Structure 1
Amino acid sequence: MTSYRDHHSSRHPSGLRRSVLTVPAINRRALDKVAGLDCDAVIFDLEDSVAPEKKDEARANLLAFLEKTDLGHRERIIRVNGSDSAFFRDDMDAVLACMPDAVLLPKVEDPDAVQSVADLIGESGAAEGLRVWAMIETPRGILNAAAIASAGRTADSRLDAFVVGLNDLRKATGVPAAAGRSYLVPWLMQVVLAARAYGLDVIDSVSNDFNDLAAFAAECSQGRAMGFDGKMLIHPAQIAAANTAFGPSAEDLAEARLVVAAFARPDNAGLNVINADGRMIERLHLDEAERLLARFQSIQDRKVHAT
């Protein structure tokens, strides 16, 4: 049974990051569609998808949109330009004006990149709820993932999630965009391990061909098998497959209910390890099962509220 864990108390209340859709802040039509989509989170992009001469317009679009739009359960993240760019301070001013759930930092390569932004947020007097996400998308970022995660878990760091960016990593390393990502898997697993070691969520990279949904579904299944919590998306057509792949399956739910029922029997009260149908089940499996069922219930509740 797959483990669905709440890694940190600062996690968004929905507890779901299966589908994380990125939307260019310069694209008003795309912004206006967000509230009707079934994604768990939205990354409003001020970085790669916005030309330098359009940065001011993109910030204005985003401020106006978030001021008037209730996104309900959807987590709101703003991806800013790098701290070494001419756009960073204006981007952070927009973040502090909007107060999203998180700010996403591109090309994070060392712990200082996270801490400096956390310090900036703290100095502004912003609420504790504003978190930091880090894009891990360069060779140095991969190599330093554990150090970034470790330093990011201090009381004032605000680090909450890693997002893998393979396009930049492929460019830097020369690894081609081949099906199956076989030469990239060791690096992906390194990021997952670092995230899990320090209680972060970790989001898989985008898949660039949104017309090939079969290939996308296969990549989602691979990402889930590697331990990712969800996937960064570039098109609404990818949402359903991501929600399915990173959500609890019928088999997961059946197993979770079996575990809960087994521990609920009076003869198993107080036991840490029990025998259920010839299998050893530990109380840690009960904790996982209860979290999975709670996560499933939040999905069901969301469907009810959407109708």
Structure 2
Amino acid sequence: MVSFADDHPSRLRRSVLSVPAINVRALEKTHGLACDAVIFDLEDSVFPDKKAEARENLRRFFAETPLVGREAVIRVNEIGSDYFADDMAAVIECRPDAVLLPKVDGPDVVRVVADLLAEADASESLRIWAMIETPLGVLNAAQIAASGRTAGGRLDSFVVGLNDLRKATGVVPESGRTYLVPFLMQVILAARAYGLDAIDSVSNDFRDLEAFGRECLQGRSMGFDGKMLIHPAQIEGANRHFGFSPEAVAEARMIVSAFADPATAALNVINVDGRMIERLHLDEAEKLLAKIAIIEQREGKLS
């Protein structure tokens, strides 16, 4: 079966930094950072009486100094809030790569926002990211992921929000996230079933880089594509832990080269030095190399 997200190009999302839209200095600093994506936040990090100012900051930023070589994402306030309509107007004007919807409990939210974007003739490349950060969001993760099929192809990624989920469930914040792992894996499973990316939750203590590294390793092992960050100090660790070793890159190139041989054109399984390699490994290798190409292209633009 063809994945719903197959039409979306490969994305690099190892490090996804959240920046308060109210902080002009922080916005300016994003140009020199090596993160893969920036979430410009209009929600939790902006006081209610500063929402309008934050939106104006983003309008100026996107008009005058847009990001180069990284994804730009705007996190809006919750649908039904007093700020949502104005936030979406700013999104349509700024034309980021994606809009991040907080506290998505079910599929209707994704469909409503997709309809709003379509009515505004927003580019089809403007995607939707959904934050899964409530008990209902976790329980309905598969339905939310499936809603992409009826949301104009815009739904592209899940982002886990554990702070709100801990608060709602009463799970104690402890090292290892033991009792949160079932929730995290449910989100991963739903995302993968419908071809979406999945971004792990923030690590709250940006000074404890060892604990952050352990969370990155755990998230990578669970299958997350990257991690949402709250401080630039976390970028290097996220890029490293969710990145690709030279050995993995070399193997990917070997697999692509092996299947490029005309003699293997009609084969689903080939033998390379005593190893059986399937075409599913070819798919994985091509995706890895596409991400390497993104890194190389971005470094060229930023140099």
**Shorter-chain TM-score above 0.5:** yes
1:294 paired residue number? 290
- Give the Å deviation of 1:217: 1.4
Structure 2 counterpart of 1:60, from 17, 42, 56: 56
Match of 1:144 in 2: 140
Are 2:220 and 1:207 aligned? no
Question: Structure 2 matches for 1:227-266, cutoff 5 A?
Answer: 227-264=223-260
Specify whether residues 90 and 265 from structure 1 end up closer, same or farther in structure 2 by C-alpha distance, changes over 3 A only.
closer
* Partner secondary structure for residue 199 of structure 2: strand
Q: Is the 8 A contact 2:70 2:298 kept in 1?
A: no
Q: Given the superposition, is the C-alpha separation of residues 6 and 123 from structure 1 closer, same or farther in structure 2, using an over 3 Å criterion? A: closer
CA deviation after TM superposition for structure 1 residue 157, in Å: 5.4
- SS of equivalent to 2:178: coil
Measure the CA separation in 2 of the matches of 1:65 and 1:240.
Answer: 25
Is 1:169 the counterpart of 2:165 in the alignment? yes
2:122 aligned counterpart, secondary structure: coil
Consecutive unaligned residues in structure 2, runs of 5 or more = none
* Residues in 1 aligned to 2:302 and 2:70: alpha-carbon distance in whole angstroms: 12
Q: Which residue in 2 is equivalent to 1:106?
A: 102
Match of 1:23 in 2: 19
- Alpha-carbon offset, residue 267 of structure 1: 5.1
CA drift of 1:266 comes to 6.0
- After superposition, residues 86-101 of structure 1 pair within 5 angstroms as 86-101=82-97
1:117-147: CA deviations, max 9, x gaps? 1111111222222211110000000000000
Residue 200 of structure 1: how far off its partner (Å): 0.8
Q: Does 1:74 pair with 2:87?
A: no
2 CA distance for matches of 1:89 and 1:261? Answer: 50
The answer to whether the aligner puts 1:10 opposite 2:8 as a matched pair is yes
Q: What 5-or-longer segments of structure 1 have no aligned partner?
A: none
Identity percentage of aligned residues:
66
Pairs aligned (count): 301
Distance in 2 of aligned mates of 1:291 and 1:56 = 40
Task: Give the 3-state SS of the residue equivalent to 2:130 in structure 1.
Answer: strand
Match of 2:186 among 186, 190, 215: 190
Residue 7 of structure 1 contacts residue 201 of structure 1 at CA under 8 Å; is this kept in 2? no
Secondary structure of residue in 1 paired with 2:233: helix
* Corresponding residue number in structure 2 for 1:275: 271
CA distance in 1 between partners of 2:298 and 2:144 (Å): 34
TM-score (norm 1): 0.93
> What do you get for the CA RMSD once the two structures are aligned?
1.8
TM normalised by structure 2 equals 0.94
Matched position secondary structure for 1:43: strand
CA separation of 1:35 and 1:283: change in aligned 2, threshold 3 A = same
Distance 2:139 2:214 in 1: 27
User: Within 2, Cα distance between the matches of 1:306 and 1:93?
Assistant: 30
Alpha-carbon distance between aligned partners in 1 of 2:57 and 2:295, rounded to the nearest angstrom: 30
Tell me by how many angstroms 1:9 deviates.
2.3
| Residue identity opposite 1:304 in structure 2 | G
Asked if 2 retains the 8 angstrom alpha-carbon contact of 1:21 and 1:232, the reply is yes
